[in-house]
Structure 1
Amino acid sequence: MARSRILVALVALVVLLAGCGIPDSGAPIVYRAVPPGGGDRPDPPDARSNPQGPQKGGTPIQTVEGFLVAVGSSSERSYATARTYLSAPAAWKPAGSVRVFTLSSVTAVGRPDSGRVRISGQQIGLINADGSFTPSVQAIDRTVQLSRTGDVWLIDNPPGDILLRSDFFSQIYVPATLYFLDPTAQRLVPDIRYMDASGSSTDRWTAAVRLLLGGPSQSLGGAVRTAIPANTRLHGNVVQDNQHVVADVSSEALDSPSLWPAMVAQFIWTIKKVTGGEVRLMIDGREVSTIGASSGAKVDDIVDQFDPDALTANLSAYRVAGGVVQPALAGGRQVPAAFSVTTGVVAASMSADGGAVAKVGQAAGQQTLYLGPSAGPLTPVLTEPKILTPTWEFDHGGAITAINDRELVYAQLNRPVTPIRSPELAAMLGKRGRIVSLRLAPAGVRLAMVISDGSGGSHIVVGVVKHNAGESVSVGNLHVVSSQLIDAADVAWNNDNGLVTLAATSRGEVVQYQIAADGSNEQQSPSGLPTVPTRIAAVPKQSNQSTLAAVGGRLYQFYKPGWRPPAGHNGEGLVIPATSVFYPS
């Protein structure tokens, strides 16, 4: 069974966190250490159980521990119960960022009756005003003074900000997927926020739409756009009406007719994902289906056109073996013509729409990147000592790869290869770090990388790709979402906000990690693999059995609860050679 180390599951925040902005630039932050091999934890206290306030005859330590539990349970944001632990409750006006932290200890300072108590732990992230989570590590070391009032110890100087214990989040907060647009306004890009699970469905649905109206999170800043015109407002609440969930927005939504389909898609897919129901979108009381009909755009067609789950539907996997690209599994689609006449391949990839392919060939100690349409021919565009497997933008507009373990480059069909600017990445790599693998998310925009520290340690890093004026490309807003892995060699996207990687433990076992792309959650489970895979292929929205890996020159497939060679007709494990494996992506 997977051992979950839940580090946040986060806060809903439209109400709670006004003004706690996070800088969108600067050096990337390693926000937590992942102990190789993990370890079981005792169950956390139930933060939903309405703590009763400080107890008569309790100790200063018990008062501080109760205060931290009460803060974690105060989803109504007035912190009424938490204030009962304070000697001057009305004077407490917490401000600034909400700090998610793992609690290490609550200890007395000096004599037990001195009333001084120290709170120690590690901050793992900050919750932003827009409901998003930003990894950020630093020590938490606060000393509070208590005084006795009758038989009760009360806190005189509570922390000036909110300290939220990480082990409460999965109990009381739930993620919500909002959708914004890639720079071309052709595809939806997920943006994960966090809602208060204790509120009603209407509360959560309404909060999600208001967050959508507020624009993308800071982590996606500059890399996505919105088609929803400024000043568009939500009328009332998002409500259930018979078989539909209904949202009514103001007439400002009509102000950008050229982006009408994209705007409708943002609203409907966000509400659909948050509520799980069928959606009726209204503009000043009129159904968009009637408005859309007059403009020639049918709502059902718009929903299908922008379906975020369709980006990776019905894909076949391919493998590289003996320098040749082949179908990964029996019954898979034939390889594109551009690969069928190709030998000497060490790595290959294909755009998600199947329109373009790339291969890396090797000769005389050099590697050459070839690009071309899937029907061929392939053209050499770059030769370097080392080139990583390219990762494609969805519409095969371009591919990103890394050369010589250190530099990102952007390659397009029939255009020169250009460097990608990323001062944050350069700072992260330092003198010894190297890029081991990289993958664009299915909708593009977000880039996940495996970074080696040069001494066997690996980090999973996520950033955003920005297409700037003058056709330059940059990668920024980097955050380490999993650290201190051992010998991780690849990472793949397996859902809108999820990554999968495999790494070794200090005991030599191979462990599978499921990692939230915003760094908010991580799970690990035994894999049963003999060694760490050199390449992983996963398809978001498809079954776990679609996940493949090249391990020790052989193909493995994920079958719950672990990995094994693909099964033949009689259930026996097949020996299928593979030095690399990939889906169109």
Structure 2
Amino acid sequence: MTGPRTGPRTGPRTGRSPLRSHPPARRVAVVAAVLLVLGLAAGCMQMPASGPVVETDTASGSGDGRATAIDPVPPQPGASAIQVAQGFLEAMTATPIRSSVAQQYLAEDARTSWDPDASTIIYTDSMAPVSVPGGAAIALTSAERLDDRGAWVGDLGPRASTLRLRMVMEDGEFRIADPPDALVVPASWFEQRFRSVSLYFFDRTGQVLVPESVFVPRGEQLASNLVNGLLAGPAGAARLATRSFLPDGLGLGLSVPIDDDGVADVELTGDAPVRSADANALMLAQLAWTMRQDSSIAAIRVSIGGVPVPLPGGVSAYSVEGGAPYDPTGYQSSDLLYGLDRAGLLVSGSPGDLERVSGPLGQDAFGVRSVAVDLAGATAAAVGGDGTSVLQAPVREGEDQGQVQEVVSGATDLLTPSWDVAGRLWLVDRTADGARVLHVDEVGSGQPREVRVPGVTGRDVVDVLVSRDATRLVAVVRGARSDRLQTARILVTDQGRVRGAVADTRIVSEDGGRLRVRDLAWTSPTTASLLSTVRDDLVEVRTITVDGAPSGLSTLSTTVRGPVRGLAGSPVVDQPTYAVGRSRLVDVSSGGEVAVTGVVLRSLGYAG
């Protein structure tokens, strides 16, 4: 609650300052949805007016969500090297998705070695192929890559964005000898045929699920794609921050059949290991949370090597709503709003019914300037008015004898605190040498410990979010001309001790515009929103993804009129996101306003 925190879901879009992300050594388009929007809205990505592509269905215009079927034509006799290159590119847009026609453009040896499942390259436009020594080249615009699991990797860069296809002659015809191991498709085609989903792994302690975003094809194989994604395990920095309880070395049968009652049979191949009931419960929770994204699945049965996995309670099928205690947003966390009124007293309640709490921070003025309440809604951590100390107090009267205690002192300039599911308090101190990221494991008795966060520690940081699962950190780093967002993965041992952090993604203003972030908030476990000023009476709220995957098109950006102090947002996706004024809340999704009566707000936010 730097001011209250939040993020948008839908609303009018603006074209201001699109964001772009960069890992430490290369660029990553975290908001690649911007590219999709530009391609669709501006019409820059169009299927060629001529060539070996035949549309055989118009279902995509019927509103049922099905993509237009595309039946590409195989190579024609006497085709030139340029025509073969163009035909190969177009053949990869076959719908339903298949590689059989594209393979016909390849030399005999390449047909068996080509692996289009190894990665996916998405581009907004392509130039006409040109002849180069030994073959043809195709320049792609704004080309991005996904890995073999469908996780966003990043921008290819100018050099790699040109496909250079070496040609050989076979039976008097040009054929491609060295195709890239990738499915290479337009962004507009990809957006119609793939969807973003989350694969759920666990934090290192096995206490809370952690979602990782990937893209999978739409259609009947969704369940199989979800299971295969879990079997592949976490990748990149996520491998250091998370773990999987699906045994190693397993595969999936041909598919995941789903019966008329919505029960999916997950038949895993391989040797069935001897496992504890706890390990099986964690595996089932991973599968349930991941497979509930397929609306046709109500429950699952799992077998390994033909041996059924025992289900808790002796049930015949495990509900996909199971595993609630491992909720990444916190099991049974408070859904109330918490903030400070004009007098600096702690208030709580629903949007239209905020009142001062009965605990000491709601009854006596301690001169605090920001506050965060733990996920249970029981304990508040408040930064003193000079930013050098943190006070801890119960939210309600009668808890812990209503005592206020100073748990941190001697700081320089503390930002708003945050809490994670383990009850750990996170702090950022803005010192003369830059930001220091601190955590307090045992609030009230433990001492703050510093964790060095690449790209954040030592920088001019103006706002920070820590995910409730304590695996991600997002910081707003102030620059001379424009702010940027730096994300990192927090590393925690199996015993729950914070051991460090690794840099993940750097997100900057793509057009070189001046971006000044006023507030930052979670909108889901994998997306956040930032608030910036357009002019005195207008603010913009933009949604970004924090792990490299593009956000949904409908949640790209929205604007709110009138004075706004901050955002109130939550990683619980069905909790509204609000732009917070002195005496009103604006639902960023719907634009509806809620009057705040009896309280003049300084800040507002959800638990955490």
TM-score by length of 2: 0.74
Aligned to 2:515: 486
Alignment equivalent of 2:374, drawn from 339, 351, 376: 351
Aligned to 1:514: 543
**CA separation of 1:101 and 1:503: change in aligned 2, threshold 3 A:** farther
Which runs of no fewer than 5 residues in structure 2 stay unpaired? 1-10, 16-21, 48-66
Aligned to 2:579: 549
TM-fit CA distance, 1:313: 5.9
- TM-superposition CA deviations, 1:18-43 (whole Å, max 9, x none): xxxxxxx982644249789x864227
TM-fit CA distance, 1:146: 8.7
**CA separation of 1:419 and 1:72: change in aligned 2, threshold 3 A:** farther
2:600 counterpart SS class: coil
CA distance in 2, matches of 1:47, 1:69: 14
In structure 1, give the amino acid aligned to 2:561: L
In structure 2, give the amino acid aligned to 1:303: G
2:24 counterpart SS class: coil
Aligned to 1:581: 604
TM-fit CA distance, 1:186: 2.0
Aligned to 2:240: 222
**Paired residues of 1:236 and 1:248 also in contact (CA < 8 A):** no
Q: Is 1:435 matched up with 2:456?
A: no
Alignment equivalent of 1:526, drawn from 548, 552, 558: 558
CA distance in 1, matches of 2:508, 2:289: 29
Aligned to 1:31: 28
In structure 2, give the amino acid aligned to 1:478: D
Matches within 5 A, 1:318-333: 318-322=338-342, 323-327=344-348, 329-332=351-354
Q: Is 1:420 matched up with 2:464?
A: no
Aligned to 1:279: 299
In structure 1, give the amino acid aligned to 2:488: G
TM-fit CA distance, 1:487: 1.0
Alignment equivalent of 2:146, drawn from 127, 152, 164: 127
- TM-superposition CA deviations, 1:539-578 (whole Å, max 9, x none): 344546x212335x5653215443x65247xxxxx79633
**Paired residues of 1:421 and 1:473 also in contact (CA < 8 A):** no
**CA separation of 1:62 and 1:106: change in aligned 2, threshold 3 A:** farther
% identity of equivalent residues: 18
Q: Is 1:392 matched up with 2:427?
A: no
CA distance in 2, matches of 1:390, 1:548: 19
TM-fit CA distance, 1:445: 1.5
**CA separation of 1:512 and 1:280: change in aligned 2, threshold 3 A:** same
Where relative contact order (Cα < 8 A, 6+ residues apart) is larger, the structure is 2
Q: Is 1:177 matched up with 2:198?
A: yes
CA distance in 2, matches of 1:527, 1:28: 33
**Paired residues of 2:346 and 2:356 also in contact (CA < 8 A):** no
CA distance in 2, matches of 1:229, 1:476: 26
Alignment equivalent of 2:361, drawn from 339, 344, 358: 339
2:227 counterpart SS class: helix
- TM-superposition CA deviations, 1:220-278 (whole Å, max 9, x none): 11212223343455566322122132234567365133434323222222222334521
Aligned to 2:216: 195
Aligned to 1:406: 435
TM-fit CA distance, 1:584: 0.2
Matches within 5 A, 1:253-332: 254-283=274-303, 291-293=311-313, 303-307=323-327, 311=331, 315-322=335-342, 323-327=344-348, 329-332=351-354
TM-fit CA distance, 1:2: 4.6
- Greater mean alpha carbon deviation, residues 347-356 or residues 375-384: 375-384
**Equivalent residue pairs, number:** 537
TM-fit CA distance, 1:318: 1.9
> What root-mean-square deviation, in Å, do the aligned CA atoms of Structure 1 and Structure 2 show?
4.3
Alignment equivalent of 1:106, drawn from 122, 127, 147: 127
- TM-superposition CA deviations, 1:489-512 (whole Å, max 9, x none): 222221233222233469996333
CA distance in 1, matches of 2:428, 2:537: 30
- Greater mean alpha carbon deviation, residues 386-395 or residues 376-385: 376-385
**CA separation of 1:237 and 1:81: change in aligned 2, threshold 3 A:** closer
TM-fit CA distance, 1:61: 6.7
TM-fit CA distance, 1:460: 3.1
1:406 counterpart SS class: strand
Alignment equivalent of 2:260, drawn from 242, 246, 258: 242
CA distance in 2, matches of 1:146, 1:27: 32
Alignment equivalent of 2:486, drawn from 461, 474, 478: 461
**Paired residues of 2:334 and 2:377 also in contact (CA < 8 A):** no
**Paired residues of 1:434 and 1:451 also in contact (CA < 8 A):** yes
Q: Is 1:379 matched up with 2:399?
A: no
TM-fit CA distance, 1:101: 4.4
CA distance in 2, matches of 1:94, 1:583: 50
**Paired residues of 1:549 and 1:581 also in contact (CA < 8 A):** no
In structure 1, give the amino acid aligned to 2:191: S
Aligned to 1:11: none
Alignment equivalent of 1:447, drawn from 467, 470, 473: 473
- TM-superposition CA deviations, 1:361-416 (whole Å, max 9, x none): 123xx532334554442324133332111121123133243433522121231111
In structure 1, give the amino acid aligned to 2:149: D
**Paired residues of 2:114 and 2:180 also in contact (CA < 8 A):** yes
TM-fit CA distance, 1:488: 1.8
Aligned to 1:138: 157
CA distance in 1, matches of 2:210, 2:82: 46
